[in-house]
Structures are given as structure tokens and as C-alpha cells.
Structure 1
């Protein structure tokens, strides 16, 4: 499912009066809030759905499989991880 399909599903769930634009704005607001919450607090917990957490990746060495003799330094970075809640896992 891509973002456009997700917006259509949100529009259906909100009812016939809701436009695709309003559903898209609602989805964007939720995603932005999750991003800001993780950035500010380090994690966002949505009960019954899961947890978004900030994770740190240390600097490491990587190699091109076609030229394994050439090592490349991959810099340290931050990323976001998601852990599904038990309720969500049971529904899948």
C-alpha cells in the first residue's frame, strides 16, 4: 500500500463527506506529529498499535559486493525504528 492508497482508506473510514485533500492533510498531520514526537522525546507510544523509537547507528565499514577489496566508511546516523504492539501482532 502506498500513501495515495492509504489516503483513500482514511477517506473511506472518515465518511463520504470527507475529501481526499482533508484525509491527506489528516494523515500528514499524524505523520508529522509522530516525527516531531520522536525527535523531541525519543519515542512515541500508540497503545494498541506500537512504538516509534529513535535509534542510533554507530559508524561502520561497508563493502561493495562486486569489489570487496574496497572498504567504505559509513558514518554514524540516527534512524527511527518501529515495534508493533502485541494487539497488532495478534491481528496479523
Structure 2
């Protein structure tokens, strides 16, 4: 069990005091939900709903980036070598 859980209603991290989810908790969640990105989004989406109720003064976009925006980064491919586009020309 992590010590980096949310402290409500201000949504700070119980382990380090940073805004939750903190960098450590994001790393833990990425590992825990590595094969289930939709489940991670649903899990964090439920927390997003609670956070909007607890912090109505916070702009929706800020909360969205904080709770869900970073999850898409985990889904992007990370190729070891960048691929180059090669054009193929048809000969007349």
C-alpha cells in the first residue's frame, strides 16, 4: 500500500504534500495499470469528480490535466530509434 494517497478535501499527497496525484503516485499508477489504460482513466475520473466537488474554485481544465491529462503520456509508444519517412517514387 502506498503512502502517497490523497488527503481530502484539498487533494494533497499524504506522503509528500504535493498536489495529488504526485509524481510518485503517477509512477505507481502507471505500473499498476500498465496493461489497463482505460481502467486507469476510469479510476482517476472518479477522483476527478470528487475533486471538482471539493474544489469548485479550481478551473475544470486544471483539474482535468492534473487527474487525467498525464495518463495519455503513458499510452504513447516510445520507440528506441526514431523512424524516418522514405518516399517511394514510381518510375515512368
TM-score (norm 2): 0.28
- More strand by percentage: 1
